Amino acid sequence: MTYQLETAAHPETLRRVAIDPVSRVEGHGKVTILLDDQNKVHQVRLHIVEFRGFEKFIQGRPYWEVPVMVQRLCGICPVSHHLAASKALDVIVGAKKLTPAAEKLRRLMHYGQMLQSHALHFFHLCSPDLLFGFDSDVTKRNIVGVAMTHPETAKRGVLLRKFGQEVIRVTAGKRVHGTGAVPGGVNKSLTVAERDELLKEIYHIIQWSREAVQLIQKVHTQDPGLYNSFGIFRSNFMSLVGHNGDLDFYHGTLRARDDNGGMIFDHVDYQNYNQVIEEEVRSWSYMKFPFIKSIGKEHGWYKVGPLARVQNCDQISTPFAEHERKEFVDYAGGTPMHAPLAYHWTRMIEMLHAAEVIKELLHDDDLLSDDLMVQGERQMEGVGVIEAPRGTLFHHYQVDENDVVTMANLIVSTTNNNQAMNEAIRHVARRYLHGREVTEGLLNHIEVAIRAFDPCLSCATHALGKMPLQVELVDAEGTQIHALSRA
Amino acid sequence: MTAPVVVFCIGNPSRGDDALGPFICGELGKWPEIGNAQVELIEDFQLQIEHALDLIGRQLVLFIDAGTATTAPFDFRQISASTAVAHTSHALSPEAVLQVYRQTEGQVPPPAFVLCVRGDSFELGAALGTAATAHAAAAMVLLARLLAMPELAAWQSLTTGAMGDAG
């Protein structure tokens, strides 16, 4: 099937605008826009090329290496891959239920990551757009610009990140390449000193997180004309949901709702994810397009991540975040909010929840226990699913009798949002670019829409000073007629 | 006590020549100078905003990274905080880390240098290449001199030409 603005009727007659790579989005994203002579938009596509080779990287390795190796897939959220792989391999080693200490230590690690990742996105990647405006001076539209004009905001972003990284360090054993989670449990607990160091900081962290929610709520509600409509499209939602329908980033069952909030499926054991989710390949993109099987590929695609999770759950178990969830739901008027910029609001609600859960866990003496491992009857196949900062992350492995991984299938969060991101940028292109002369500020609108989803595109290759935004206008003969760039 | 010298080794061990930073970190970790509280090694995939906090209390800062357009075997140069490095991904440039320090700490950052070692291939699952390994060996010779004389003037005297793009 084709989607509106996905494929132009006569692309050979159109001008091409390429945003390559997309700035402040990890890795190698590229947006191509085909325009006619009147600058009318005929085709918009987000291309992501970096997910090739993940499965080959894993296949052929002993299963016990996998939780450590998969961290190298992503320099931004290595803990998500570490834990999703460990959960899948729990199944392989027959660990049906972890010890309370192991489960809580993993949860602490994960919520630490959620906090630091959301802080990075809000204070580093999206706050420049939100604080300065989408058309603002390009040299200010970054974290350095934020630090210059809002030093306290920038400082809190740094300290929130640092705290989250410290939670990861004490639970994973190291700042990077941690080994905390292993199939069947974890290999270290917290010391009293480690716990007490974190406890010293957590109350500041919660307070700053509360203020971050209030800041983004204020930004959003002060300009409803923009924030409730920018890049908007309707879709289904999907996420894990925890016990009793709680928001849960670490464990639960799969739930999907339609665009009106009606239930599509619920309580689905993620071991059977491929009974409800299917992936479509399209010729123009290396990244697959997942969809809900029962609805089909045309209407079965969905959003994942904070906006999906906060609206998919029935409640949040921690008081401050639950209060903010209710505020958000009330603002939405009792129907699902689909505006991509609402991702920022819900992302901060999640950051607050993560901070509150960390506080609860730090008061739980199970974190100090040495009862860390379980085993059971060896299995040949396992699936691990986790709610990563950007959305639902699937790891699926088959392991042979020699303990070697023979099959790996990963559906990363950004893949789950593939169609959704494409829909968002098509809406923005129609609204802001259609019939107008292309400028850097207008093209940043496209990037603002993509950044709302916080996609992690390359997973692990960093790039210092080599990610300029390059935009080329090329006529039908392939001749460059105009170029924009920023370094 | 904070070590007066901090060395950031940046890269992904499983991305071909992006492993230059972690490889050099591993080699440096074997040196006695590293264990004497004078030098702290920090290895990471990418530079992030919180790394600005690792600059507090330092006298010298060194960022080691792979570079795609760097003159082989390496470039070594002093850097300063910069707002010109405007657009990055989730990661920061060394200059931006210094600038975050300047803005969040309200102080001039400590003297900082980049050692950018030439790399060529950055594919997932690839090992460190032969040429990159040779470049790393050359860089280790320089590092021996740097860490034997952890003083600003001495480091400045060893700088090379302009640095290419780091990757």
CATH code, A202 = 1.10.645.10
- Angle among Cα B157, B158, B162 to the nearest 5 degrees reads 105
For helices A418-428 and A440-452, the axis angle rounded to 10 degrees is 150
Nearest to A72 among B12, B100, B103 (CB): B12
Residue A192 CB partners (closer than 8 Å, separation 6+)? A368
Host domain of residue B118: 5-156
For residues A127 and A41, state if they share a domain: no
Q: Is the pLDDT of residue A24 over 60?
A: no
Q: Is the pLDDT of residue A469 over 60?
A: no
Q: Is the pLDDT of residue B89 over 60?
A: no
Q: Domains in chain A: how many in total? A: 2
Indicate the pLDDT class of residue A470, thresholds 50, 70 and 90.
very low
Residue A127 CB partners (closer than 8 Å, separation 6+)? A143, A146, A150, A153, A157
Rounded Cα distance, B100 and B77, in Å:
20
Nearest to B165 among A138, A148, A465 (CB): A465
Inside any domain, residue A44: yes
Last residue of a domain, one of A362, A386, A413: A413
Token pair recorded at residue A259: 């665009």
Listed residue (A310, A296, A298, A282) closest to A415, CA to CA: A282
Inside any domain, residue B162: no
Q: Read off the pTM.
A: 0.89
Indicate the pLDDT class of residue A480, thresholds 50, 70 and 90.
low
CA distance B148 to chain A (A): 27
Token pair recorded at residue A470: 């390059």
Mean pLDDT of A97-111: 98
Token pair recorded at residue B146: 């740097």
Token pair recorded at residue A292: 């809900």
Inside any domain, residue A2: no
Inside any domain, residue A154: yes
Inside any domain, residue A329: yes
**Residues A72, B14: C-beta atoms closer than 8 Å:** yes
Indicate the pLDDT class of residue B26, thresholds 50, 70 and 90.
very high
How high is the pLDDT of residue A468?
31
| Chain A touched by B20 (CB under 8 Å) | no
Listed residue (A194, A196, A211) closest to A160, CA to CA: A211
For residues A117 and A215, state if they share a domain: yes
Q: Is the pLDDT of residue A487 over 70?
A: no
Q: Is the pLDDT of residue A23 over 50?
A: no
Host domain of residue A156: 66-413
Inside any domain, residue A6: no
Last residue of a domain, one of A375, A392, A413: A413
Mean pLDDT of B28-43: 86
| pLDDT tens by residue, A297-340 | 999 999 999 999 999 999 999 999 999 999 999 999 989 999 99
**Residues A486, B88: C-beta atoms closer than 8 Å:** no
| Chain A touched by B45 (CB under 8 Å) | yes
Compute the 3-state secondary structure of chain B and give helix, strand, coil in percent, each to the nearest 5. 35, 20, 45
| Chain A touched by B80 (CB under 8 Å) | no
Mean pLDDT of A374-399: 97
For residues A381 and A454, state if they share a domain: no
Q: Is the pLDDT of residue A254 over 80?
A: yes
Inside any domain, residue A257: yes
Last residue of a domain, one of A351, A383, A413: A413
Listed residue (B68, B132, B10, B62) closest to A467, CA to CA: B68
Percent of chain B predicted with pLDDT > 70: 90
Nearest to B104 among A56, A154, A456 (CB): A154
For residues A31 and A92, state if they share a domain: no
Rounded Cα distance, A181 and A101, in Å:
12
Q: Is the pLDDT of residue A385 over 60?
A: yes
Length of chain B: 167
Percent of chain B predicted with pLDDT > 90: 59
Rounded Cα distance, B11 and B65, in Å:
7
Higher pLDDT, B121 or A363: A363
Inside any domain, residue A356: yes
The answer to whether the CB of A57 falls within 8 A of the CB of A395 is no
Please count the other Cβ atoms lying within 10 Å of the Cβ belonging to residue A80.
29
Q: Is the pLDDT of residue A486 over 60?
A: no
What is the three-state SS of A90-153? HHHCCCCCCCHHHHHHHHHHHHHHHHHHHHHHHHHHHHHHHHHCCCCCCCCCCHHHHHHHCHHH
Inside any domain, residue B163: no
Q: Return the CATH number at B129.
A: 3.40.50.1450
Q: Letter for the amino acid at B164?
A: G
**Residues B167, A24: C-beta atoms closer than 8 Å:** no
ipTM of the complex: 0.82
- Give A169's contacts in chain B (Cβ within 8 Å): none
Interface of B with A in 86-115 (CB under 8 A): 86-96, 99-100, 103-104, 106
How high is the pLDDT of residue B37?
82
Indicate the pLDDT class of residue A485, thresholds 50, 70 and 90.
very low
How high is the pLDDT of residue A203?
97
**Residues B18, A462: C-beta atoms closer than 8 Å:** yes
Inside any domain, residue A469: yes
Inside any domain, residue B104: yes
Inside any domain, residue B166: no
Listed residue (A462, A117, A113) closest to B13, CA to CA: A462
**Residues A463, B49: C-beta atoms closer than 8 Å:** no
For residues A127 and A16, state if they share a domain: no
How high is the pLDDT of residue A391?
96
How high is the pLDDT of residue A321?
98
Token pair recorded at residue A120: 């990075």
CA distance A442 to chain B (A): 16
The two beta strands, A277-280 and A289-292, are antiparallel
For residues A197 and A128, state if they share a domain: yes
Rounded Cα distance, A245 and A193, in Å:
35
Q: Domains in chain B: how many in total? A: 1
